[in-house]
Amino acid sequence: MLRVQDLHKRYGEVTALDGVTLTAAPGRMLGFLGPNGAGKTTTMRAVFGLVRLDAGEVRWRDREVTSDVRLRFGYMPEQRGLYARMPVGRQLRYLAELHGMDADDAGRATQRWLTELGLADRIDARLSDLSHGNQQRVQLAASLVHDPELLVLDEPFSGLDPLGVQAMSEVLRERAAAGATVVFSSHQLELVEELCDDVVIIAHGRDQIAGTLDEVRAAADYRRVEVRLADNRPVTP
Ligand code: ATP
């Protein structure tokens, strides 16, 4: 279980997080919704220790999240983090080894994920030579190659065509079915409704509505949120 408890973060005058709280459970998918600037990226980065919080706590399986614990996490950042000019296979193997796999296992995991994502024949291609959709698939493979228990993806569907959305959806479903805890952020309510077991909607750095998909759908404010998300205007608490 991932527990994010009452996170606070200010950047100068800007309050990025003002008490975000959420939990995500193994074998389930959590959709993390909110308009631009709501605090989704800051929350996700905080899970990976990439934000110096003013207050709040992140725990995994009732433990403090240390760098050792983070080796079992996978993260697909919004600003995708791979090298444009390095062959994709080499990058994936390197990442797998950084997460503690030996060279043979890292090679096998690289093959497995590139094959599952339809990119086996691109193992020696440079990332920059791939289409946007295929680059996104490689970024997904990079977050999965070490078989993480917790998978956190920042807007993984952005810019994908329908086939890319389908491929991404299938992989996330399969990972959750295999027992991983899956969290992804999005502006797209329909995708979250289609895929997620649980939903957290935040605005102004605070969670507004949280629960199972059915509970959130039943919330009095839900339709209002839908309209605001579609407009991408902040949801007023
Ligand atoms: P988007 O959907 O646009 O990615 P978001 O929900 O992920 O938005 P965040 O990126 O977490 O939102 O940003 C929350 C707020 O904190 C915004 O007002 C943003 O401008 C501000 N912010 C985030 N990172 C920084 C930073 N490094 N320095 C200053 N302000 C920041």
139 within ligand 1 shell (Cβ under 6 A): no
Q: Whose CA is nearest to atom 9 of ligand 1?
A: 39
Which pLDDT score, from 0 to 100, does residue 43 have?
Answer: 97
14 lines ligand 1 (CB under 6 A): yes
Measured between alpha carbons, how far is residue 122 from residues 105, 109, 159, 216 in Å? 19, 15, 21, 41
Q: Whose CA is nearest to atom 21 of ligand 1?
A: 16
Q: What residue ranges of the chain have pLDDT lower than 50?
A: 237
Amino acid at the residue 57: E
Residue nearest atom 24 in ligand 1 by C-alpha distance: 42
8 A C-beta contact, residue 225 and residue 201: yes
Residue nearest to atom 18 of ligand 1 (CA): 37
The alpha carbon of 47 and the centre of ligand 1 are apart by a number of angstroms equal to 15
The pLDDT of residue 237 is: 47
Percent of the chain with pLDDT strictly greater than 90: 74
**Verdict on whether the full-model pTM lies above 0.80:** yes
pLDDT for res 154: 96
Q: Please choose from 9, 36, 44, 51 the residue to mutate so as to test ligand 1's pocket, defined by most ligand atoms within 8 A of CB.
A: 36
Q: Whose CA is nearest to atom 25 of ligand 1?
A: 11
Structure confidence by residue, pLDDT tens digits, 104-145: 999 999 999 999 999 999 999 999 999 988 999 999 999 999
Position 78 scores a pLDDT of 83
Distance of CA 72 to the CA centre of its chain: 14
Sheet-wide strand order for 14-24: 14-24, 2-11, 55-60, 63-64
Consecutive H or E run containing 182: strand 181-186
CA–centroid distance, residue 42 to ligand 1 (Å) = 6
Q: In angstroms, what is the span from residue 109 Cα to ligand 1's centroid? A: 34
The pLDDT score that the predictor gives to residue 235 is 52
Strand order in the sheet with 150-153: 73-76, 150-153, 181-186, 29-33, 198-203, 206-212
Q: What is the DSSP letter of 233?
A: P
Q: Is the CB of 186 under 6 A from ligand 1?
A: no
ipTM of the complex: 0.96
Question: Under a CB-based contact definition with an 8 Å cutoff, are residues 208 and 178 in contact?
Answer: no
Which residues on neighbouring strands pair with residue 3, listed in sequence order? 23, 59
- 225: alpha, beta or left, given left = phi > 0 and alpha = psi -120 to 50? alpha
- Count of other CB atoms within 10 angstroms of residue 118: 12
Task: Work out the burial of residue 218: count CB atoms within 10 Å of its CB; fewer than 13 is exposed, 13-18 middle, 19 or more buried.
Answer: exposed
- Position 223 scores a pLDDT of 67
pLDDT for res 218: 85
DSSP class of residue 189 equals H
Query: Distance from the CA of 213 to the center of ligand 1, in angstroms?
Result: 26
pLDDT of residue 84: 87
Q: How far apart are CA 178 and CA 159, in angstroms?
A: 27
How many angstroms does the Cα of residue 17 sit away from the middle of ligand 1? Answer: 9
